[in-house]
Amino acid sequence: MIIDSHVHLFPPKIVAQRKRFFDDSCFAELYQPEKSKMVSRDELLEMMHTEKIDRAVAMAFPFENDEYRMLQNEYLLESSHETRGKIISFLAAPKNIDCLDGWMAEARTSGAAGVGEVAFYSTGFGEKEKQYLDVLLQAAASADLPVCLHVNEPVGHRYPGKYTTSFELLFDAISKNKNTKIILAHWGGGIFFYALMKEVRAAFAHVMYDTAATPFLYDERIYLIAREIVGSEKILFGSDYPLLSPSRYFAAIRASFNSDAQAAVLSENALALFHRR
């Protein structure tokens, strides 16, 4: 079995008429470039069939506009229902900090498997964003929903969606919310390296890392290095489709892990995290 733990899809209306949604600054930041590919459910399912992906976790886009956010969330939940769980849906949380507790309980009841991909494309991640994240993580713990956080590497080339993240603030938020299951996307921007420090390793016991966008960002040795530092039980295969196809990852994963560890990275870790069997 193979589970792609990080893909993206949008309602057909948004895919076909993306320019109508550019008044949302976060969406415009990532999808105004014409080369930024968008897909809806049918295209995702076609890819899954072609590449033999058994299930895919659809990450919601963090729209600032509530109307767009709710349109997307409804489509993601519909996709899970229509495919009988072949598509596993994460939802985008509201920006209003006062309604997160109630919203999180509703998300759980609706069938959401988690929250995210939480990102701060228009502002970066600073003190204000950390305060919001603290409340969101606490609410997610109460609802027993994992949270996926978009984290960029702090150095290197710029690209749409790359923003500055304070590792100090991120560490503080994670270490204070130990009852929340957290996925740090894109290898956590490399923050997993600090798990070589005993206090960080202990503070990040509830954290997992996905592989999304690896071929665009890192040398293939990152799989071996991450295996040594955090262990294969902490790694989730995610392609970031349609940015990249899953097939771009498999050779490196199979070269870096033995058969048991491959099974963990490609499916078993996700099955346990998302309570799917």
Q: Which two tokens stand for residue 162?
A: 């790359």
Q: CATH second-level architecture of 3-273?
A: Alpha-Beta Barrel (3.20)
Distance CA 79, CA 191 (A): 33
Q: What is the pLDDT of residue 276?
A: 59
Distance CA 231, CA 9 (A): 30
pLDDT at 31 exceeding the cut of 70: yes
Residues 69-123: pLDDT tens digits?
999 999 999 999 999 999 999 999 999 989 999 999 999 999 999 999 999 998 9
pLDDT band at 43 (very low <50, low <70, confident <90, very high): very high
Distance CA 151, CA 156 (A): 14
Which of 65, 59, 58 shows the shortest CA–CA distance to 94?
65
Residues 117-129: pLDDT tens digits?
999 998 999 999 9
pLDDT band at 277 (very low <50, low <70, confident <90, very high): low
**Burial degree of 68 (CB within 10 A; 0-12, 13-18, 19+):** buried
Q: What is the pLDDT of residue 30?
A: 93
pLDDT band at 158 (very low <50, low <70, confident <90, very high): confident
Q: What is the pLDDT of residue 63?
A: 97
pTM: 0.96
Q: What is the pLDDT of residue 247?
A: 97
pLDDT at 220 exceeding the cut of 60: yes
Query: Please, what is the average pLDDT of the chain?
Result: 95
DSSP SS3 for 259: helix
Residues 227-260: pLDDT tens digits?
999 999 999 999 999 999 999 999 999 999 999 9
Distance CA 38, CA 56 (A): 16
Q: Give the residue extent of every domain in the chain.
A: 3-273
Average pLDDT over residues 1-9: 97
Q: What is the pLDDT of residue 50?
A: 97
pLDDT at 33 exceeding the cut of 90: no
Average pLDDT over residues 161-177: 93
pLDDT at 49 exceeding the cut of 80: yes
Q: How many CB atoms lie within 10 A of CB 131?
A: 13
**Burial degree of 127 (CB within 10 A; 0-12, 13-18, 19+):** exposed
